[in-house]
Amino acid sequence: METTGAGIPGPMDLIPRHYFFYTNAMNEPFPLKTVADTLAYFGQNMGALGPELQLLLWALIGCMILEVLLPDQSKRLTGYAALGGIAFASFHLYKIYVNGFLGVFFNETTVIDPFSIFFKALFLAAALLTVLLSLRFMEIENEQSGEYYALILLATIGMMVMVSAIDLLTIYIGLELMAMSFYILVGYLRRNRLSNEASLKIFLLGAFASGILLYGFSLLYGLTGSTQLSVLARQLAAAPAQNREMIFLAVVLVIVGLGFKIAAVPFHMWAPDAYQGAPTPITAFLSVGSKAAAFTVMLRLFLGSFVSVKGWFLVLGVVALMTFVVGNLAALLQTNVKRLLAYSSISHAAYILLGLLAGREFGGIAASSGYLLIYTFMNFGAFAVLILMRRKGIPGDQIADFNGLIFRHPVIASLMLIFLLSLAGIPPTAGFIAKYMVFAAIIKAYMAQPSAMLLTLAIAGAVAAVVALYYYFLIVKAMFTGESQAEDLPALSFSPGVTAAIVITAGMTMWVGIFPDTIMRMAAYAASNWGAW
Amino acid sequence: MITTTHYLVLSAIIFSIGVIGVLTRRNVLIVLMSIELIMNAVNINMVAFSHQFKDMVGQAFAVFVITVAAAEAAIGLGIVIALFRNRETVHVDEIDLLKG
């Protein structure tokens, strides 16, 4: 707290100093007295938000205004506007990467570091695939409109804000922007009862979870007097012993709140329902983007701010174990492919948690980041095939719908096989590399400091991989040996967008599986200079 | 003299009422109201700490929470209306098409 004189603080002193000052080139505090000063300050900082601003611009002007201007039959153009926004945002992100525009911005609430650049690229890739998959799908569903694409871009902005955030307030704003866009997107098929219901479920549990998360944040603020993650880390390390229980409570509340977002057991109840009811491209986006965004916040909090807090390791370890058990066992019973992939997505969250639990020193951050990137491609691939199966009048999301696919569409069936093998973690696909990185990290951590929890987690992960093979092969079995009941099935709904998405995802899945060094270097880049701000 | 502790106890009570409401009530609208209670418990906490530390960040946080809660209520009611048009119910127990 800064006070002008000794004694009682005046009203102006209540406002932290950095709200009025910024540092000039010589690193001296500089008052923002005039409008020109303020504009200059924002000009300096806005560059950091370039990709987000591009997306916002295209979402509002590209998608929303086109939506009003275009006649009904050419609403698809709004989707192309969204693609344009993603292209420009990627370009801006690329410039930030090439120019090394790293640093802390906006009064220490936003950071551009390798970690955030890596994940922003991941979110843009996920958004690109979502839009490509949606172009035809929403036409079949008769819900083609500009708001849909605008909301996809807004959700992406939310994720990008989350990964850049180094302040609890910024994290919360990003999280809510992402979550609210998803509440609407999940219920976007408003004439479909399943979609309505899915939307209500994700909304109620999501809002409840963010309430709990916020309560945890408010306790953290009370315990440390700051919302900045770096200050949080210092204050929690120096916290007096009598505060320990309260800190633990706050951290557990944060685990509950973020556990909902990553769909870890026991906070996973919404996931299968929401995944099944949502439009399929949104299901894919939800299972990849929202999970990755929540994981970036978890990595920043638990391996950055909470490292000195005792006890969270055990809690998260138990959560990961339960996630392995419930996620895999429940998946065995599914007959709906979307639900099956939902439970598979839950069990993948447990593998990513393994990376977090291995810790920063043993390559845990790189492992989790690499896993999330690989998971993006293989999961989107599986969902892209599922979207091909959606035809006029046929939902195509039951395992039985895949019966005999190899005889009718050998290429698509083989690609689906690759995606499923990758999800199960069989070499030479990308999924194997992902599992390898996570297991390497956890075994390294175990070698350095043996603990029963790490050993149990590693064994549970290995067993879970075997169980997972069974339920992925339920689909493979249907594709290769199942008898197709009807001969006169309509053709699969091919479109340029879906084809492009399948080519990208299948290419990445195989390429990363055969030449893993690039992705490993990218993951190492994401973990480099971590928390240096 | 009302100290920060008093505010924290009040906030903890409101938070508990909210959580119990979400977990036990079966009417969607009452669940929504319970979620609002949780948000307001957070606001009380934030403003109380802000007052104690003489730091404006807590109050700024509370303003943001209020804003976001308003947006969330708008989305929530929109979803409930969409659901009611198709199903004519606001009871959580009857919303059970998705399971397994």
DSSP A101-141: --EEETTTTEEE-HHHHHHHHHHHHHHHHHHHHHHHHHHHT
pLDDT at A33: 65
Rounded to whole angstroms, the Cα distance separating A377 from A459 reads 26
- Rounded to a whole number of angstroms, the distance from the CA of B1 to the nearest CA of chain A is 19
Compare all CA atoms of chain A with the CA of B38 and give the residue at the minimum distance: A211
Residues of B in contact with A329 (CB under 8 A): none
Q: Which pLDDT does position A14 carry in this prediction?
A: 40
- Window 156-185 of A: residues touching B by CB (8 A cutoff) are 168-169, 172-173, 176, 180, 183-184
User: Do A197 and B15 lie within an 8 Å CB cutoff?
Assistant: no
Show Cβ contacts of residue B60 under 8 Å, excluding neighbours closer than 6 positions. Answer: A169
Coil, strand or helix at A285 = helix
Of B15, B45, B68, the CB nearest to A222: B45
How far is it, in rounded angstroms, from Cα A437 to Cα A405? 33
Residue A511 neighbours by CB under 8 Å, 6+ apart: A430
Give the model's pLDDT for residue A31.
59
Task: Measure the CA–CA gap between A229 and A309, rounded to whole angstroms.
Answer: 14
**Which of A522, A502, A475 is closest to A374 using CA atoms?**
A522
Provide the shortest C-alpha distance from residue A508 to chain B (in Å): 33
Per-residue model confidence as pLDDT tens digits over A420-447 = 999 999 988 999 999 999 999 999 999 9
A392 conformational bin, left if phi > 0, alpha if psi -120 to 50, beta if neither = beta
Q: Which residues of A touch B39 (CB under 8 A)?
A: 211, 214
Q: Which chain A residue shows the shortest CA-CA distance from B36?
A: A211
Question: Does A13 contact chain B (CB < 8 Å)?
Answer: yes
- The verdict on a CB contact (< 8 Å) between B46 and A218 is yes
Say if pTM beats, i.e. exceeds, 0.90: yes
- A51 vs A532: which has the higher pLDDT: A51
pLDDT value at residue B66: 95
Exposure b/e, A363-397, CB count within 10 A at least 16 = b: bbbbbbbbbbbbbbbbbbbbbbbbbbbbeeeeebb
Per the prediction, chain A carries an average pLDDT of 88
Q: Which residues of A312-347 are buried (b: 16+ CB within 10 A; e: fewer)?
A: bbeebbebbbbbbbbbbebbeebebbbbbbbbbbbb
Rounded to a whole number of angstroms, the distance from the CA of A175 to the nearest CA of chain B is 11
Spell out the SS3 assignment of B50-91: HHHHCCCHHHHHHHHHHHHHHHHHHHHHHHHHHHHHHHCCCE
Which tens digit of pLDDT belongs to each residue from A331-349?
Answer: 999 999 999 999 999 999 9
Q: Of A50, A159, A136, A67, which Cα lies nearest the Cα of A500?
A: A136
Q: Calculate ∠ Cα A139-A142-A147, nearest 5°.
A: 85
Nearest-CA distance B61 → chain A (Å): 6
Q: What percent of chain A has pLDDT over 70?
A: 92
Quote the pLDDT of residue A391. 83
Kindly state the DSSP code that residue A168 receives in the 8-state scheme: H
Residue of A218, A224, A335 for testing the chain B interface, max B β-carbons within 10 Å: A218
User: Residue A526 to residues A7, A75, B88: CA-CA distances in angstroms?
Assistant: 47, 38, 49
Q: Do B100 and A190 touch (CB under 8 A)?
A: no
Residue with tokens 């990445």: A508
Q: Where are the domains of chain A?
A: 311-533
Residues in chain B: 100
Helical H runs in A6-113? Answer: 35-46, 50-57, 66-69, 76-99
Check pLDDT > 60 for residue A3: no
Residue B25 token pair:
């009530």
Question: Would the pLDDT of A207 be above 80?
Answer: yes
Side-chain-side CA neighbours of A27 within 13 Å: the count stands at: 0
Contact B98 A336 (CB under 8 A): no
Contact B38 A172 (CB under 8 A): no
Q: How many CB atoms lie within 10 A of CB A190?
A: 18
Other Cβ atoms within 10 Å of A449 Cβ, number: 10
pLDDT at A45 over 80: no
CA distance B13 to B69: 19
Contacts of A225 in chain B (CB under 8 A): 49, 53, 55
H helix or E strand, kind and range, residue A298: helix A291-300
Question: Is-cis flag, bond preceding A266, omega within 30?
Answer: yes
Nearest Cβ partner of B82 from A19, A187, A221? A187
Interface subset of A 400-459, CB within 8 angstroms of B: none
The residue whose two tokens read 């996570």 is: A438
Which residue, chain included where needed, has tokens 């199960």? A424
Nearest to A299 by CA among A312, A318, A288: A312
Gyration radius (Cα) of chain A, Å: 23
Instruction: Using the predicted structure, report yes or no on whether residue A46 has a pLDDT greater than 70.
Output: yes
Question: pLDDT digits over B43-89, tens only?
Answer: 999 999 999 998 889 999 999 999 999 999 999 999 999 988 888 77
A193 chain-B contacts, CB cut-off 8 A: 86-87, 97
Chain B residue closest in CA terms to A336: B100
Partner A, chain B 43-82, Cβ-Cβ below 8 Å: 45-46, 48-49, 52-58, 60-61, 64-65, 68, 71-72, 75-76, 78-80, 82
Domains, in order of start, for chain B = 4-94 (1.10.287.3510)
Determine whether A506 is exposed, middle or buried from the number of CB atoms within 10 Å of its CB (0-12, 13-18, 19+). Answer: buried
From A70-74, A154-158, A265-269, A490-494, the region with the lowest mean pLDDT? A490-494
| Helix, strand, coil fractions of chain A, as percent rounded to 5 | 75, 5, 20
